Structure 1
């Protein structure tokens, strides 16, 4: 029982961390989507062009600005957001279930533990794919912003440089980088969930097998004891000395 409590405590802590990491994915992506007016910066393509523009309502002047040819597919941002939202909801639910099991001093059934392991493995692959997608998408957007690293500033510095787009770009790098790091943490936590779910499944399977075996052993021992002593034991009284009358 002590092993079950330790596994439940570890799983509860991992789910709590998943909630925090999931929020760090969802909130920055939501802020970035609002700043970009619902457009996805990941895998966007564009080029830099110099032309005369009217800046600030004054006279026209020659300005080098970014022209976005095609914004990234919305599914690239929605995929990462979905993984983050599901991680938050699932982590909160499983944290409550783990605390409930700790209070009741029992664990999942064998079938429930198997479903938990299967779901953890599925989410591990989904979060890994979302992490790779977000990382590659951010690299592609940074290449567009820095013009294949030919501009005199880095991608992190470009968020403070006017790009002259119709979206707010003052914090895109901070938001997307935060979401990227948090999403890789979510992937690592789903790997932890998978390992803990396997250990709980193995323990439940061992308990289910060892339970009937222990009962069978007990029955065999009781049956052997009954065969060794088939008749009830009789109390042996010492022989009585006949009374002598004088």
Structure 2
């Protein structure tokens, strides 16, 4: 198996995995956005307050509930969703191109390979930034929910605790943690795709450099051998007869 074919197969596998990882980012973020009524839980600020239970549940007694002072910026959630959607669409398009190249037994041009490397590196930094934002935003929301780890439950357990908010918090940790892990996987896959795209660019550059030189050297060698075979051999000297 030739080197370019192995690279194409590896790139196809990376694109297929990126489609799956991108969907595992988009779907949980969409479900979380629907449950929170379009609000973003990342970087939300709030505090716990104890009030009369009658106002909240209609039963006598005091109850602690979470008060959200300010919901997180929507761009924090939208950025992660955008990276996931772009990864799915780009992976589907490039995966089809890789299969087409495998069937046609050829690869990208040198300029197209350079653009692929440039785009992969740019999206690698975007996905890395989105992963950091999602991770820090989830930590901030967990600190708010657990009151800086002073509540008698963890962030994962808090999704089964009534927070008395006007949004559905029954599965926020499962959704956001899944999106977080998947987004880091997307970042790792973009790193892999950047390396594979660079290797394909290097291979295309090598083929572009060595391709025109080999026929020229072959023609020079053939021309030299033909000239040697056509050139007349020196005739033996004719002896002179003295009278």
TM-score range, shorter chain: over 0.9
Q: Is the 8 A contact 2:159 2:173 kept in 1?
A: yes
User: Is 1:189 aligned with 2:193?
Assistant: no
Q: Is the 8 A contact 1:54 1:60 kept in 2?
A: yes
Residue aligned with 1:48, SS: strand
* Corresponding residue for residue 137 of structure 1: 137
C-alpha offsets along residues 137-175 of structure 1, whole Å, 9 cap, x if unaligned? 000000000000000000000000000000000000000
Give, in whole Å, the separation in 2 of the partners of 1:59 and 1:29: 35
Give, in whole Å, the separation in 1 of the partners of 2:19 and 2:190: 12
- After TM superposition, give the deviation of residue 59 of structure 1 in Å: 3.4
- After TM superposition, give the deviation of residue 136 of structure 1 in Å: 0.1
Q: Which stretch shifts more, 213-222 or 74-83?
A: 213-222
Within 5 Å, give how 1:87-106 maps onto structure 2.
87-106=87-106
Within 5 Å, give how 1:24-103 maps onto structure 2.
24-54=24-54, 58-103=58-103
* Corresponding residue for residue 243 of structure 1: none
Residue aligned with 2:165, SS: coil
- TM-score by length of structure 1 reads 0.92
- After TM superposition, give the deviation of residue 58 of structure 1 in Å: 3.1
Give, in whole Å, the separation in 1 of the partners of 2:228 and 2:150: 93
- TM-score by length of structure 2 reads 0.93
* Corresponding residue for residue 8 of structure 1: 8
Residue aligned with 2:169, SS: coil
* Corresponding residue for residue 109 of structure 1: 109
* Corresponding residue for residue 198 of structure 2: 198
- After TM superposition, give the deviation of residue 232 of structure 1 in Å: 8.8
C-alpha offsets along residues 80-124 of structure 1, whole Å, 9 cap, x if unaligned? 000000000000111100000000000000000000000000010
Gaps of 5+ in 1: 234-246
Residue aligned with 2:210, SS: helix
Residue aligned with 2:43, SS: strand
CA RMSD of aligned residues (A): 1.5
Q: Is the 8 A contact 2:155 2:173 kept in 1?
A: yes
Tell me: CA distance 1:50–1:204, structure 2 relative to 1, closer, same or farther (3 Å): same
Residue aligned with 2:106, SS: coil
Gaps of 5+ in 2: 234-243
- After TM superposition, give the deviation of residue 63 of structure 1 in Å: 1.1
Aligned length: 233
Give, in whole Å, the separation in 1 of the partners of 2:86 and 2:212: 39
Give, in whole Å, the separation in 1 of the partners of 2:68 and 2:54: 19
After superposing on structure 2, the runs of 4+ consecutive aligned residues of structure 1 that deviate more than 2 Å are 53-61
Give, in whole Å, the separation in 2 of the partners of 1:152 and 1:59: 23
Q: Is the 8 A contact 2:56 2:164 kept in 1?
A: no
Give, in whole Å, the separation in 1 of the partners of 2:76 and 2:189: 21
- After TM superposition, give the deviation of residue 25 of structure 1 in Å: 0.2
Within 5 Å, give how 1:203-218 maps onto structure 2.
203-218=203-218
- After TM superposition, give the deviation of residue 27 of structure 1 in Å: 0.1
